[in-house]
Amino acid sequence: MSKYANMFSPIKLGRLEIKNRVFMSPHGMVGLGIGTDKQVGYFEARAKGGAGMMVIASCQVVPAPLVPPGWFIEAYNPEHIPAIRRIVDAAHKHGAKIAVQGVWMMADPATAQPSGIAPHTVLSDSQPRSMTTAEVEELIEAHAVAALHAQEAGADGFEFPISGGAGLGSFTSEFYNQRTDKYGGSLENRMRAIVEIVEAIRRRVSPDFAIGIAVNADESTLGAAGIDDGVAQCKILEATGMVDWLRITARGQKPQMTQYHYPSSYLEQEGTHLDAAAAVKKAVKLPVVSGGRIMTPAFADQAIADGRCDMVFVARSVIADPEWPNKCRDDRLTEIRACIGDLEGCFLRSCFGQAVGCTVNPDIGYEYLGDVEPAAQPRHVVIAGAGPAGLQAALVAAQRGHKVTVLEKSDQIGGHVTLQAMLPGLSDRADIVRWLKLQLDKLGVEVRLNTEATAQSVAALAPDAVLVATGARYSKTGASKNQLTGVKGAQWEHVFTPEEVMLEHARLGKRIVVYDNTSYEVGPGIAEYLASKGKEVVFVTMDAAMAMSVTELGLNKVIAKRVIPKVTFLPSTEIREITPADVRVRNVFTGEETVLDAIDSTVLVTSKPPQEALYHALLGSGIDVRIIGDAREARWSVFATDEAIKDGRRAALAL
Ligand X SMILES: Cc1cc2nc3c(=O)[nH]c(=O)nc-3n(C[C@H](O)[C@H](O)[C@H](O)COP(=O)(O)O)c2cc1C
Ligand Y SMILES: Cc1cc2nc3c(=O)[nH]c(=O)nc-3n(C[C@H](O)[C@H](O)[C@H](O)COP(=O)(O)OP(=O)(O)OC[C@H]3O[C@@H](n4cnc5c(N)ncnc54)[C@H](O)[C@@H]3O)c2cc1C
Q: Applying CB under 6 A, which residues contact ligand Y?
A: 342, 344, 384-390, 407-410, 415-417, 419-420, 423, 452-453, 469-472, 498, 521-522, 525, 611, 614, 629-631, 635, 639-642, 644
Q: Pick from 97, 316, 400, 632: which binds ligand X (CB under 6 A)? A: 316
Q: Pick from 162, 227, 319, 585: which binds ligand SF4 (CB under 6 A)? A: 319
Q: Does 25 bind ligand X (CB under 6 A)?
A: yes
Whose CA is closest to 217, among 83, 96, 132, 309? Answer: 309
Q: Does 276 bind ligand SF4 (CB under 6 A)?
A: no
How far apart CA 349 and CA 343 sit, in angstroms, is: 9
How far apart CA 559 and CA 478 sit, in angstroms, is: 23
Whose CA is closest to 391, among 451, 336, 446, 332? Answer: 446
- Write down how long the chain is: 655
Q: Pick from 147, 210, 346, 426: which binds ligand SF4 (CB under 6 A)? A: 346
Q: Pick from 7, 32, 40, 57: which binds ligand X (CB under 6 A)? A: 57
User: 612 to each of 5, 155, 292, 467, how far by Cα in Å?
Assistant: 52, 52, 41, 11
CA atoms within a 13 Å half-sphere pointing along the CA-CB vector of 114: 6
- Which of ligand Y, ligand X, ligand SF4, none sits in contact with 419, Cβ below 5 to 8 A by type? ligand Y
**Bridge-partner residues for 291, per DSSP?**
313
Q: Does 31 bind ligand X (CB under 6 A)?
A: no
The helix-helix angle for 81-93 and 37-48 (nearest 10°) equals 30
| Piece in contact with ligand SF4 (CB under 6 A), picked from 128-136, 234-242, 355-363, 515-523 | 355-363
User: Closest separation between CB of residue 325 and ligand SF4, Å?
Assistant: 15
Task: With CB under 6 A as the rule, give the number of residues binding ligand X.
Answer: 24
Q: Pick from 320, 458, 604, 638: which binds ligand SF4 (CB under 6 A)? A: 320
Determine whether 223 is exposed, middle or buried from the number of CB atoms within 10 Å of its CB (0-12, 13-18, 19+): exposed
Q: Pick from 184, 271, 287, 341: which binds ligand SF4 (CB under 6 A)? A: 341
Q: Does 254 bind ligand X (CB under 6 A)?
A: no
| Piece in contact with ligand X (CB under 6 A), picked from 342-350, 450-458, 467-475, 598-606 | 342-350
How far apart CA 35 and CA 100 sit, in angstroms, is: 13
How far apart CA 93 and CA 152 sit, in angstroms, is: 18
User: Closest separation between CB of residue 164 and ligand X, Å?
Assistant: 7
Phi–psi pair at 290, nearest 5 degrees: -160, 175
- Which of ligand X, ligand SF4, ligand Y, none sits in contact with 508, Cβ below 5 to 8 A by type? none
Which one, 231 or 455, has the nearer CB to ligand Y? Answer: 455
- Which of ligand SF4, ligand Y, ligand X, none sits in contact with 417, Cβ below 5 to 8 A by type? ligand Y
CA-CA-CA-CA torsion sign (418, 422, 426, 428): positive
Residue 79 in 3-state DSSP?
helix
Residue 269 in 3-state DSSP?
coil
Which one, 248 or 440, has the nearer CB to ligand Y? Answer: 440
User: Closest separation between CB of residue 375 and ligand Y, Å?
Assistant: 22
Which one, 98 or 339, has the nearer CB to ligand SF4? Answer: 339
Which one, 319 or 652, has the nearer CB to ligand X? Answer: 319
- For residues 530 to 549, the per-residue mask of contacts with ligand SF4, x marking binding by CB under 6 A and - elsewhere, is --------------------
User: Closest separation between CB of residue 295 and ligand X, Å?
Assistant: 8
CA-CA-CA-CA torsion sign (527, 634, 481, 595): positive
User: Closest separation between CB of residue 304 and ligand SF4, Å?
Assistant: 23
- Taking every pair of Cα atoms in the chain, the longest distance, rounded to a whole number of angstroms, is 82
Cβ atoms < 10 Å from Cβ of 371 = 7
Which one, 192 or 557, has the nearer CB to ligand Y? Answer: 557
User: Closest separation between CB of residue 105 and ligand Y, Å?
Assistant: 29
Residue with the CB atom nearest ligand X in the bound state: 263
Cβ–Cβ < 8 Å for 498, 473? no
- Segment (H or E) for 538: strand 536-541
Which one, 265 or 601, has the nearer CB to ligand SF4? Answer: 265
Cβ–Cβ < 8 Å for 389, 644? yes
Q: Does 162 bind ligand X (CB under 6 A)?
A: no
**Bridge-partner residues for 570, per DSSP?**
540
User: 271 to each of 4, 220, 426, how far by Cα in Å?
Assistant: 17, 18, 18
How far apart CA 232 and CA 234 sit, in angstroms, is: 5
Q: Pick from 50, 102, 161, 357: which binds ligand X (CB under 6 A)? A: 161
Which one, 298 or 564, has the nearer CB to ligand X? Answer: 298
- Which of ligand X, ligand SF4, ligand Y, none sits in contact with 320, Cβ below 5 to 8 A by type? ligand SF4
- For residues 288 to 317, the per-residue mask of contacts with ligand SF4, x marking binding by CB under 6 A and - elsewhere, is ----------------------------x-
- Which of ligand SF4, ligand Y, ligand X, none sits in contact with 388, Cβ below 5 to 8 A by type? ligand Y
- Which of ligand X, ligand Y, ligand SF4, none sits in contact with 611, Cβ below 5 to 8 A by type? ligand Y
Q: Does 638 bind ligand SF4 (CB under 6 A)?
A: no
264: left (phi over 0), alpha (psi -120 to 50) or beta: beta
Q: Output 426-431 pairs: Cβ under 8 A, ≥24 positions apart.
A: 426/266, 426/525, 428/266, 428/338, 428/340, 428/341, 429/340, 429/342, 429/641, 431/337, 431/338, 431/340, 431/360
Q: Pick from 14, 184, 230, 263: which binds ligand X (CB under 6 A)? A: 263
How far apart CA 647 and CA 504 sit, in angstroms, is: 27
| Piece in contact with ligand SF4 (CB under 6 A), picked from 159-167, 352-360, 373-381, 458-466 | 352-360
**Bridge-partner residues for 381, per DSSP?**
404, 465
- Which of ligand Y, ligand X, ligand SF4, none sits in contact with 358, Cβ below 5 to 8 A by type? ligand SF4
Which one, 328 or 479, has the nearer CB to ligand SF4? Answer: 328
- Which of ligand SF4, ligand Y, ligand X, none sits in contact with 487, Cβ below 5 to 8 A by type? none
Q: CA angle, corner 54, sides to 50 and 60, nearest 5? A: 155
Q: Does 315 bind ligand X (CB under 6 A)?
A: yes
List CB contacts of 488: < 8 A, sequence separation 6 or more: 576, 577, 578
Residues that bind ligand SF4 (CB under 6 A): 316, 319-320, 339-346, 358-360
